[in-house]
Amino acid sequence: MSNTVKKQRRKAAPKKSAAKTQAAVETLASVAATAAEQTNAQLISRRDAAVPRGVASAAPIYAKYAENAELWDVEGNRYIDFCGGIGVLNTGHRHPRVIEAAKAQEDHFTHTSFQVVPYAPYIELAERLNALAPGDAPKKTLLVTTGAEAVENAVKIARAATGRPGVIAFTGGYHGRTLLTLGMTGKVSPYKKGVGPFPADVFRAPFPSVRDGITVDDAITGLKNLFLTDAEPSRVAAIIIEPVLGEGGYTPVPFEMMQQLRSICDEHGILLIADEVQAGFGRTGTWFAVEHSGVVPDLITVAKSMAGGYPLAGVIGRAEVMDAMEPGGLGGTYGGNPVACAAAIAAIDAIEEENLLARSTAMGEMLKARFAEIGARSAPFRFWDIRGLGAMVAVEFVTDFDSATPDAAFTKRVIANALKRGLLLLSCGMHGNALRVMVPLTASDAIVEEGMAIFEAAVVEAVAEGA
């Protein structure tokens, strides 16, 4: 840029009076000071006045600072974080490598829109994801901003590639909160209440369930019956499934079922979409949970822990499928933000160099063993099921083993008691009676054990409260 142009820009810029500038500085200082003095109760009051009630928060505390698997609220209280921002922080809060990469990118530029002026971090990340995804076929990657956006684009790509409209999802699956993804999400409360009708050509098949007596054979029979009653196979573009249910209860899809789904899709020319938004990036001990089954999907949706806390999502798929859309048919203003891309590349490096896949497997084995010990010692016949892959683990609570009645009230008491003692937990499951663990894979054994000790104390108190 010439000096002449620079001078013209400076001349054209609006001038602020010294008084206005000083007033702005004082206002900002006042706001900052007020915010620093806020208590959790005060912020709750402000939130109630400013934020819609539909945006729910699990904990009545407000974050001030976080590091790896620990978080401090605005009042200085410390918490061990077993929530990880709902599975976003496999590399922990503020991983040094991730933060360094994001700050370095910010020194260059924060946004151009890849659709206007593209940039190298988007391409580098796409190359890394293509190499990590299972299967030998050439792949391509689209980057977007949220998990729901990734799922919507996966469906759009599948429809363009096949020329078909239909999509089949499963009971208990969670795919997002936009209208199309809500149509695929298989859980009504609280997501789908009062916001229908949902898009057409979305069908639901049964998911295997020990509780409900639904076997893999039953689930596959239900899918084939769906072909006979509502979803003609020649009109189905895709079958979408979470290899491990997220909101639905952290239940892994039996490997046999994944393999049968692959065969059915191949038989009918249907594309198989693995929704890895919550299960991906090392949570289950592999880069993608679907790898445990040996199945190679046609499309994979990713988000959450991909960028170590920055908003980023994507669709990875076979190149010929991904190229089905015309130029301009894919994208979004913020999709593949350069800062988030830089963070994601660093997060992938951290997972590789710190051996977090092996760490996930070892952590998962430890968590399951500790849950079993605690259940037997502190709440006999309450821990009905302990399940998961790698460190994507959940424990399901019931009133007793004989009836196996889901006990959501007990679950809520455990979460509340844990919060009082400094442990953040989240529930999940169709009946709200399961606790899921999403502690960062970078957490030390000492921190995880401290969290488990708090958990046991919370369970003991919950048992006493229900007596």
Q: Which two tokens stand for residue 197?
A: 């009708």
pLDDT given at position 467: 75
pLDDT given at position 211: 87
| Burial state string for 37-62 with b = 16 or more CB within 10 A and e = fewer than 16 | ebeeeebeeeeeeeeeeeeeeebebb
Phi, psi of 256 (to 5 degrees): -60, -40
Beta strands in 117-261 (DSSP E): 139-144, 166-170, 202-205, 236-241
CA distance 461 to 423: 14
The string of DSSP letters for 328-360 reads: TSS--TTTT-HHHHHHHHHHHHHHHHTTHHHHH
DSSP-derived secondary structure letter, 398: B
pLDDT given at position 31: 46
SS3 at position 170: strand
In sequence order, what are the beta bridge partners of 93?
Answer: 68
Pairing type for strands 392-397 and 434-437 reads antiparallel
Are 140 and 154 in contact by the 8 Å Cβ rule? The answer is: no
Phi, psi of 88 (to 5 degrees): -90, -20
pLDDT given at position 175: 97
pLDDT given at position 287: 98
Which residue is it, tokens 């990880």? 84
Are 344 and 310 in contact by the 8 Å Cβ rule? The answer is: yes
pLDDT given at position 189: 85
SS3 at position 121: helix
pLDDT in tens, 29-88: 554 455 556 999 999 999 999 999 999 999 999 999 999 999 999 999 999 999 999 999
pLDDT given at position 17: 46
Are 411 and 432 in contact by the 8 Å Cβ rule? The answer is: yes
Q: Which of 341, 335, 281 is nearest to 127 (CA)?
A: 341
pTM: 0.91
In order of start, what are the domains of the chain with their CATH numbers? 99-353 (3.40.640.10), 356-466 (3.90.1150.10)
User: Cα angle vertex 460, ends 247, 79, to 5°?
Assistant: 60
Which residue stretches of the chain have pLDDT < 50?
Answer: 1-17, 20, 28, 31-32
